[in-house]
Amino acid sequence: MKPNRSITLSKELPTKSPTPKIIIAITTLILSGSGYCFSQSHKTGQTMNTNIRQEERIAALEKRIAGAGDDFVSLTMGEYELLLSRPVGKVDGFESRMMVSGIALGIGGKIFNTDIQVVFPFIPNIGDGEVFILFDFVKTVDGRDFLDRQSNTETNPENKENQFTELALDRRKTLQKSYWFGSRYVNLREITRNAAGEPEAYPTVRSFSDMNFGTASGKVIINLPTNITGIALKKEDMGTEKSFAGGFLTLKEINKDRISFQFSGDPKKIYAWTVYDVNGNIPDQNGTLLKNGLYQITAKNPQSVKIYQAEIIQKEYPFAFGNGSKTTSEGVSSVQEKNPAPISTNPLMAQE
């Protein structure tokens, strides 16, 4: 509290009326100060409105996704990025080493720290076979490289995305939201040499803990389907050609354990399919045979099939963690984007 006392001008100090220059200066200072305050308030208002609009967009997206149920939902690349921007928060049993574009990376494993783990917000249309991790190196603080490139196929440009770099995905949920948890074992070995300088026959197995505050660098790759469209084939469509993905679809057969359709176009244009039974449920599929454009899908009491096409956009999220690496996306280069040929997420197909 300020003291309640009056201030009296000293009689020895002459008082003068302010000159016009002083009045102008004071007026300018007041106006400029008011303008500054208004500018700051206006900027804050814009930020708040932007945040509100973003939350509204996310809520609308989540409503669309929930309404689609087990079906695919067509999203743009911007909508995927918006969904990824939501932080998952604390996940029990997972310790984040760094974050890049909504994707948190950590290390773990049941016994040794030999698994790379990722946690990111739930996004639809993906599953096993759509998320991969490639490492550039896993080095100790003194520069020793532990990455077993031959076993991890990290340096094979013709076959980067395979079972050795693929993440096993598991959809989980906190009290607030759903998220994806992914992990894979990373082969880490150190080649040691004998007294003669020759490499030992059996390299020493290592773990991420053996980095001893070194650095790991690589990238997360996600194949995201955009512009998804589909067409359903039912019993009444039997034998009728329907235009689709630059070719024609024809439903050929429906029986108690199989449904089949013919496609005259490029098989790479077919992104996926979903089989439904009489109640609209999705029965288990026991394999697919593809021969000369004829798709034969084994399932119990199938009644219809929906076939999809999509444009696959491959997103790459570079990362680095360890000694001297930042724990946020500020220390990571910008996200890279590629547009490869469509990648099928169909069940394993046997071709004859």
In words, the CATH class of domain 228-311 is mainly beta
pLDDT for residue 351 = 40
- C-beta separation of 280 from 181 below 8 A: no
- Is 248 exposed, middle or buried (CB count within 10 Å of its CB: 0-12, 13-18, 19+)? middle
pLDDT for residue 156 = 64
pLDDT for residue 106 = 94
Q: What are the per-10-residue average pLDDT scores of the chain (352 residues)?
A: 33 44 45 39 53 85 90 94 90 91 91 92 92 92 87 70 87 90 92 77 86 90 95 96 96 96 94 93 92 95 96 94 54 43 39 40
pLDDT for residue 104 = 95
Q: Classify the phi-psi angles of 262: left when phi > 0, otherwise alpha if psi is within -120 to 50, otherwise beta.
A: beta
pLDDT for residue 213 = 82
Please indicate, yes or no, whether the overall pTM of this predicted structure exceeds 0.75. no
Residue-range domain boundaries for the chain:
24-68, 77-226+313-345, 228-311
Tell me the backbone φ, ψ of residue 351, rounded to 5 degrees. -105, 140
pLDDT for residue 111 = 82
pLDDT for residue 196 = 79
Distance CA 147, CA 186 (A): 8
